[in-house]
Amino acid sequence: MVRTKKLVWLDALMSAATSLYNPEIQKAKEDGRKIVGFMYQELPEEILTAAGCVPIYLRGTGSEGTEFADAYFRQLTCNYTRHTFNQILDGRYDFLDGAVFYNACDHSRRIYDNWKLLPDNPVYHFLYVPKKPGKLAKEFYIDEIKKFIKATEDRFGVEITSERLASAIKLHNKVRCLQQELYAMQQGESVYLTGTELLMVMLAAVSMPRETYAEILEKLIAELKTNQEVFTPKIRLMYAGGHIDNKDSFELLESQGGTIVVDNTGFGSRACAELIREEGDPLEAIIDYYFEEKPAATRQMMTQEARLERAGQLVKDYKVDGVVTARLFMCDIWAFEQFILRSYFNKQNVPVLELEMDYTPEGEGQLRTRVQAFVESIRAGKQDC
Ligand code: SF4
């Protein structure tokens, strides 16, 4: 899609998503806000917001190589981890006032281990998030959240009260409601955003202060509706993948005539699918949301059926013609996820393309050819009907 009009608010969010120390973070820093890097998606951002901090998603955006990180990681480590750590070693995260991690996977948690070895590092906590559901696991999780709160209070010299938690929930829910509105605009025959734009708008949410994001997103939705520049995708795709968050990667997937109308990613549709309860005790509401209400992440055990059901529902709701799944080289979590998604959609006769990608697109020509063949096969199938 070639836009004929400049969309100011879309540009603002796209640029926030594609740079680490973006103007909104710089402004927050000047205003005295504390910026805290965190691992997506099971670390409760609301607790950081309640402490007055700006939580931002740690990633390797802007990295062009892994030469520094390669001294710390073997080649068997995924490239999200190596590119992110390379940016850390290159000083691109020097603006951070804190960083928190959790046991997302055995690759990414090593960023924590290695960063802790560096002088003046901002890392102050590691949260253990159980992979299993159940009563015992939840009790353990509650203790972990309390330790996380205490560590954050000590680090920033603030008290995280119930009032502060309640107001953080409201703010994050406001963001989620606006994002839901945006996704609803992608469900019709005509859509307002390309998949690349949609994913970058979602990524911007974890790249800047949430108050500013909510204001800009509200303006963007109004801008899109007023502008009325919609387009009708000929081939509607769903994208599902792990820590791929590079604009160029999504552009590549959309370069052959297919449009990503919806995604199944942690920073995308899963981030806004459910709201946190606003009644009752706010800490309990946050714990319930992250432990059992939010759509499950791929690492969570015994959630396979729910994950597949959700993916199947997205395909129906967004009238998807084909599913593109992508994993980074060496990512075992997404190797399993790709397998179960393929088996599930094969039974439903939904075409699936499985890709292995680098964090920054490499072997571009080969990937382009595979995407082209996939899109062509869907197009031919539609013409036969
Ligand atoms: S891409 Fe896979 S291996 Fe790498 S951090 Fe994400 S889940 Fe872990």
Measure the CA–CA gap between 25 and 31, rounded to whole angstroms. Answer: 10
Rounded distance from Cα 241 to ligand 1 centre (Å): 10
SS3 276: coil
Q: Residue 41: is the preceding peptide bond cis (ω within 30°)?
A: yes
End-to-end CA distance of the chain: 26
Rounded distance from Cα 57 to ligand 1 centre (Å): 14
- Per residue in 362-380, pLDDT tens? 778 899 999 999 999 999 9
Rg (CA), the chain: 20
Q: H/E/C letters for each residue in 176-219?
A: HHHHHHHHHCCCCCCECCCHHHHHHHHHHHCCCCHHHHHHHHHH
Q: Specify the CATH number for the domain of residue 3.
A: 3.40.50.11900
> Which residues are bridge partners to 323 per DSSP?
238, 352
Neighbour order of strands in the sheet with 123-127: 53-57, 34-38, 98-102, 123-127
Pairing between strand 235-241 and 258-264? parallel
Rounded distance from Cα 237 to ligand 1 centre (Å): 23
pTM over 0.95: yes
Give per-residue burial for 281-314: e unless 16+ CB within 10 Å, then b: ebbebbbbbbbeebbbbbbbeebeeebbebbbeb
Closest Cα to atom 3 of ligand 1: 331
Is pLDDT of 293 > 90?
A: yes
Token readout for 230 is 């919609």
Q: Determine the distance from the C-alpha atom of residue 226 to the mean position of all C-alpha atoms in its chain, rounded to a whole number.
A: 28
What value does the mean pLDDT of the chain take? 96
- Per residue in 147-204, pLDDT tens? 999 999 999 999 999 999 999 999 999 999 999 999 999 999 999 999 999 999 999 9
Ligand 1 atom showing the smallest separation from residue 106 Cα: 8
The letter for the amino acid at 136 is L
Q: Please choose, from the candidates 213, 268, 208, the residue with its C-alpha nearest in 3D space to the C-alpha of residue 243.
A: 268
Measure the CA–CA gap between 20 and 207, rounded to whole angstroms. Answer: 7
Domain range for 180:
1-385
pLDDT band at 3 (very low <50, low <70, confident <90, very high): confident
Is pLDDT of 345 > 70?
A: yes
Please report which residue ranges of 348-363 form alpha helices under DSSP H: none
Q: How many domains does the chain have?
A: 1
pLDDT band at 385 (very low <50, low <70, confident <90, very high): low
The dihedrals phi and psi of 118, each to the nearest 5 degrees, come to -85, 145
Residues 6+ apart with CB under 8 A from 261: 186, 187, 191, 195, 233, 236, 237, 238, 318, 319, 320
Closest Cα to atom 2 of ligand 1: 331
Residues 6+ apart with CB under 8 A from 166: 278, 282
- Per residue in 231-283, pLDDT tens? 999 999 999 998 999 999 999 999 999 999 999 999 999 999 999 999 999 99
What percentage of the chain reaches a pLDDT higher than 70? 100
C-beta separation of 40 from 267 below 8 A: yes
Residues with CB under 6 Å of ligand 1 are 78, 80-81, 105, 107-108, 242-243, 328, 331, 333-334
Token readout for 30 is 């000047």
Rounded distance from Cα 76 to ligand 1 centre (Å): 11
Rounded distance from Cα 331 to ligand 1 centre (Å): 5
Other CB atoms within 10 Å distance of the CB of residue 363: 10
Pairing between strand 123-127 and 235-241? unpaired
Measure the CA–CA gap between 308 and 182, rounded to whole angstroms. Answer: 23
To test the pocket of ligand 1, the residue of 298, 331, 337, 356 to mutate (highest count of ligand atoms within 8 Å of its CB) is 331
Rounded distance from Cα 259 to ligand 1 centre (Å): 25
- Per residue in 24-60, pLDDT tens? 999 999 999 999 999 988 999 999 999 999 999 999 9
- Tell me the torsion sign for CA atoms 10, 11, 15, 16: negative
Give per-residue burial for 121-146: e unless 16+ CB within 10 Å, then b: ebbbbbbebbeeeeeeebeebeebbe
